[in-house]
Amino acid sequence: MRLLSILDLFSELDALELTIPDILLNLLVVLILSLWVLLIYKLSYQSNVYNKSFAMSLPVSALVTAMVIMAVSSNVILSLGMVGALSIVRFRTAIKNPLDTIFMFWAIGIGITIGANMTLLAVLSSVVIGLAILFVQALELFNSPYILIVSLEKEFDEKKLLEEVKKLYPKFQVRNKSLQLDSSEYTFELRGKKDLSNKIDTLKEIQGVVTVILLTYKGDYVV
C-alpha cells in the first residue's frame, strides 16, 4: 500500500511536467517577489492604520495562485474542474481602498506568471511596478491634503488669519467660511509634504481665535 502511494506520487509529478526543484524554485521566486510587494505596500499604504492581516495575505495569495497555475497548466481536465470550483466560491471580504485592490491583483499576477513559467516577466514587471508606485507617491500632486479648521469669536482680523495660514503652506484654499453674530469658522485645504502639526500654534496667537483643528483628508474620510 505504501509502495503504491509513492508510485502515485511520482506519477502525479510526471503529469505536472515539473520536477521537485522546479516547483521549489518557482515557489521561492514567488515568495521573494511577494515580499517585494509587501515592502512597497508598507511604504505606500493609504489607510489610517497598517493592515497586518491584509499585508500577510499578499504573499500567501501569490503562493496559492502559483500552486493552482502549476497544477492546471499541465492538465486540461483539472483546469476545467478548477474553473467550475472557483465559480461557486464567493469572497465576502470587500477591499475598500482601490490601492489595496491593486496590490492584491499584483500579488495574484505574480503567482500566475511564475506558475506559467514566465519568471523573467514577473521579475521585471514587479520591479517596474514597485518603482512606479514609489515615484507616483513621491509626487506632490498626489499627497494627501490637510484640512485646517479655525474657530473664532467676537472681533478678528481675517487678513491676518489668511496671512498666517499662507505662512504654514503657500498652497491653500478656503473650503468653507461660516460667519455668525458672535462667532465664525474657516475651513482651509492645505496641500504639501511638510508636517504642519507642530506649526499651527502660531494661529492661536491671532486675536479672536478660539480653537484650531488640523485633520488629514484621505478621499472620503478624515483622520
Question: 123 with 204, same domain?
Answer: no
Same domain flag for 134 and 167:
no
Lowest mean pLDDT among 8-17, 28-37, 120-129: 8-17
Triad 115, 58, 40: Cα angle to 5°: 105
128 inside domain? yes
- Looking up residue 208, the CATH number of its domain turns out to be 3.30.70.260
In the predicted structure, residue 38 carries a pLDDT above the cut 80:
yes
Q: What whole-number percentage of the chain has pLDDT above 90?
A: 17
Residue 200 predicted with pLDDT over 50: yes
Residues 133 and 115 in one domain: yes
Return the half-sphere exposure (C-beta side, CA atoms, 13 A cut-off) of residue 62. Answer: 29
- 29: β partners: none
Query: Would you say residue 34 has pLDDT above 90?
Result: yes
Residue 112, domain member (yes or no): yes
* Band (161; pLDDT cuts 50, 70, 90): confident
The number of distinct structural domains making up the chain is 2
Does 101 share its domain with 147? no
Amino acid making up residue 6: I
In terms of domains, do 49 and 117 share one?
yes
Q: Do 129 and 106 form a contact (C-beta atoms < 8 A)? A: yes
The verdict on 9 and 67 lying in the same domain is: yes
Q: What is the mean pLDDT of residues 78-89?
A: 54
Distance CA 155, CA 138 (A): 42
Within this chain, do residues 10 and 98 fall inside the same structural domain, yes or no?
yes
**pLDDT computed for residue 4 by the predictor:** 44
Overall average pLDDT of the 166-174 stretch:
78
3-state secondary structure the chain: CHHHHHHHHHHHHHHHCCCHHHHHHHHHHHHHHHHHHHHHHHHHCCCCCCCHHHHHHHHHHHHHHHHHHHHHCCCHHHHHHHHHHHHCCCCCCCCCCHHHHHHHHHHHHHHHHHHCCCHHHHHHHHHHHHHHHHHHHHCHHHCCCEEEEEEEECCCCHHHHHHHHHHHCCCEEEEEEEECCCEEEEEEEECCCCCCCCCHHHHHHCCCEEEEEEEEECCCCEC
**Domain stops at, among 111, 138, 165:** 138
Query: Of the residues 113, 138, 163, which one is the last residue of a structural domain?
Result: 138
Tell which of 138, 170, 199 closes a domain: 138
Query: What residues make up the domain containing 167?
Result: 142-216
> Locate cell 494627501: which residue?
144
Spatial distance between the Cα atoms of 2 and 5, rounded to a whole number of angstroms: 5
Residues 195, 151 within the same domain: yes
| Start-to-end CA span in the chain (Å) | 63
- The whole-model pTM stands at 0.64
Asked if residue 222 belongs to a domain, the reply is no
The x, y and z cell numbers of residue 129, run together, are 511596478
113 and 35 co-located in one domain: yes
Q: Is the pLDDT of residue 201 over 70?
A: yes
Whether 84 shows a pLDDT value over 50: the answer reads: yes
Domain identity same for 43 and 128: yes
Do 201 and 113 lie in a common domain?
A: no
Residue 3: its pLDDT value, please?
45
Q: What is the pLDDT of residues 103-135, one digit of tens each?
A: 989 998 998 899 888 999 999 999 999 999 888
* Grid coordinates belonging to 200: 499651527
Cβ count within 10 A of residue 218: 14
Q: Locate 47 and state its grid cell.
A: 489607510
pLDDT above 70 covers a percentage of the chain that reads 70
Q: Is residue 223 part of a domain?
A: no
Highest mean pLDDT among 36-40, 79-83, 170-174: 36-40
Q: Which has more pLDDT, 85 or 42?
A: 42
Asked if pLDDT for residue 188 goes beyond 80, the answer is yes
Domain-embedded: residue 221? no
More confident position, 26 or 87: 26
Output the pLDDT for position 110.
92
Q: Are residues 78 and 155 in the same domain?
A: no
